[in-house]
Structures are given as C-alpha cells and as structure tokens.
Amino acid sequence: MNKQMNKQIINLLQDIKMELQTDKDNFWMDIKKVCEVTSLSASTVRRAVKMEELPCSRKLGKLLFKKADVRRWVGE
C-alpha cells in the first residue's frame, strides 16, 4: 500500500508540474512589463489597445495584458 500511495503522489506531482508549465502564457503583465518585453513604447501599446489589436483588461484601474495575447500581437 505504501508503494502504491507513493506512486499516486508522484503522478499527482507530475500532473501539477505539467499544469504549471502549460500555464506560463496565462499570467498578466502591466503596460510597463509589456514595453520591456517587446521593446515598444507605452504609446504604441496603448494605440494597439485603442485600435483593438491587443486585448487587455482594465481591472484594478490599469491596463493588464495576458502574455499569450502579447506574443500573438507581436508575432503578427
């Protein structure tokens, strides 16, 4: 029983590890971080938001961007 429980724990840990690795593009960045990552100015990023080229969230009173959305936008 102890070996089986250890195996279950290892499987669960591997599942968690996979979930964390695949979820890296799902974290939020503020406009300052987007500018650092893309080497673009804040006005360029704001223009893309205004033209609806770059999706964002305006929660908490500031622009927040998902890393995956920024990657898609830069790759276009």
Cα angle, residue 76 at apex, residues 72 and 66 outer, rounded to 5°: 20
pLDDT digits (tens, 9 = 90+) for 28-72: 999 999 999 899 999 999 999 999 999 999 988 899 999 889 999
Q: Of 3, 65, 67, give the one whose Cα is nearest residue 31.
A: 65
How is domain 26-76 classified at the architecture level of CATH?
Orthogonal Bundle (1.10)
What pLDDT is stored for residue 46 in this prediction?
Answer: 97
Please answer whether residues 57 and 27 qualify as being in contact, where contact means their C-beta atoms are separated by less than 8 angstroms: no
**d(Cα 55, Cα 51) in Å, to the nearest integer?**
10
Kindly report the pTM of this predicted structure.
0.66
